[in-house]
Amino acid sequence: MTGVKTNLIVSSSRSRLLRHTAWDAIFVVLAFLQGVVVLFVPSIWLIALGLWWNANTISHNFIHRPFFRSRTANDLFSAYLSLLLGIPQILWRDRHLAHHAQVPWRPRRNLALLVEACLVLALWSGLAAQMPRFFLTVYLPGWALGLCLCQLQGYYEHVRGAVSHYGRLYNLLFFNDGYHVEHHARPAEHWRRLPQSRIQAATASGWPAVLRWLEALSLDSLERLVLQSRTLQRFVLRNHERAFRKILTRLPALRKVGIVGGGLFPRTALVMQRLIPDAQLTIIDASAENLQWARSFVKGDVHFTHRFYDGDSCDELVAGMDLLVIPLAFTGDRAAIYRLPPTPYVLVHDWLWCWRKAGAVISLPLFKRLNLVRQSAAPGKPAGEHS
């Protein structure tokens, strides 16, 4: 019976047109919407971002699992994507599959490639003849920039072997493209099932691939830059205070607050002193030098603890605290903090795309937000989602 039910479910999700699942209709609709938008409101950035996004979502999924039952329908959609992205999809497909097979890529000459190449050439010739200024100053720069973004994406997805990114926002907008290690392990897996195939030991990054170059920028060096500029200090304090205020107004009175990694420029401690002046603050930092810097900024009833906090076997450090603040540069298990918060309330600095229901944006330019996690949640509801 189980097998019969499974077959019925699979059959009901398909259509006479689509080969695998009705969910693939989303890609078809979005591809045509992208074409409409590019046609009526073209710009360099729209062309570039559209090429990059489509190549890593629609085109990528189409390569591994062609959407249609009919070969003719697949050929027509491939031709359309070739025109939309300015790249023959047969060429794109062969190159990508060679990458998965870990073999050198050699272009294959066939009729399908010739047709798609002629379509792209005809489009470009028509644009150059009818709208030369647009072609040279908008379309070509946008197309080239889009290819650069694709190259950047591909490089950082594999710079130290396949690397995944589990941020919710990115995987929502890119249809689980962040599950890259999982995709390499099971290339034919449908994008909706990739989260269920998550590999716990997978190499992961907090940055989407196209922004992963930012990992080279040390957070510690950026903190030291803030130390040198009063303007940057005011900017950082203003943005953090706005986010903290939005969250703290929803919490009960806080008596004891722990701040992990609060050395160097202690923006959290300074903000807390303004917003909850009666609370006792404890800054926990593994660097004696950083704590010394913090002492030069923070006055009043603040305790300084020279210890390393990673969340494991450190319960005595936070015992009795009402709130714990975790920094962006936290080196422990951040997922464990979300799953099992060590104090009644925890505020976690995280990247903008690591969205939680209870939280606030700190700064869009800094890609940073503040997430609230409660120790006790409603039955059957994760602690980080309780609001």
Helix (H) or strand (E) holding 60: helix 58-64
What mean pLDDT, rounded, does the chain reach?
87
pTM, entire model: 0.64
Q: Is 182 contained in some domain? A: no
Mean pLDDT of 357-368: 85
Residue 219: predicted pLDDT? 58
Domain boundary among 157, 173, 190: 157
Mean pLDDT of 87-101: 94
Mean pLDDT of 158-176: 91
Q: Is 201 contained in some domain? A: no
Q: State whether 231 and 378 are in the same domain.
A: yes
**Is residue 226 over pLDDT 70?**
no
Q: Is 45 contained in some domain? A: yes
Q: State whether 369 and 244 are in the same domain.
A: yes
Q: State whether 227 and 99 are in the same domain.
A: no
Q: Is 184 contained in some domain? A: no
Instruction: Specify the number of domains making up the chain.
Output: 2
Q: State whether 145 and 291 are in the same domain.
A: no
Residue 1: predicted pLDDT? 41
| Chain center to CA of 262 | 26
Q: Is 12 contained in some domain? A: yes
**Is residue 248 over pLDDT 70?**
yes
Q: State whether 240 and 343 are in the same domain.
A: yes
For residue 371, give its domain range.
220-385
Residue 221: predicted pLDDT? 63
Q: State whether 64 and 143 are in the same domain.
A: yes
Confidence bin at 246 (pLDDT 50/70/90): very high
Residue 289: predicted pLDDT? 82
Q: Is 171 contained in some domain? A: no
Q: What is the CATH number of the domain that holds 306?
A: 3.40.50.150
Q: State whether 16 and 111 are in the same domain.
A: yes
Residue 385: predicted pLDDT? 45
Domain boundary among 115, 140, 157: 157
Q: State whether 151 and 226 are in the same domain.
A: no
Q: State whether 373 and 242 are in the same domain.
A: yes
Q: Is 198 contained in some domain? A: no
Residue 380: predicted pLDDT? 40
CB 259 within 8 A of CB 282: yes
Q: State whether 349 and 249 are in the same domain.
A: yes
Q: State whether 145 and 252 are in the same domain.
A: no
Find, among 98, 365, 372, the residue nearest to 243 by Cα.
372
Which residues are registered as beta bridge partners of 259?
Answer: 283, 325
**What one-character DSSP code corresponds to residue 184?**
H
Helix (H) or strand (E) holding 349: strand 345-351
**Is residue 49 over pLDDT 80?**
yes
Confidence bin at 276 (pLDDT 50/70/90): very high
Q: State whether 149 and 254 are in the same domain.
A: no
Q: Residues in the chain, how many?
A: 387
Residue 190: predicted pLDDT? 94
Domain boundary among 124, 140, 157: 157
Residue 378: predicted pLDDT? 39
Q: Is 297 contained in some domain? A: yes
Q: Return the SS3 of 257.
A: strand
**Is residue 228 over pLDDT 80?**
no
What are the angstrom distances between the C-alpha of 361 and each of 205, 220, 240, 252, 255? Answer: 20, 21, 9, 21, 25
**Is residue 192 over pLDDT 90?**
yes
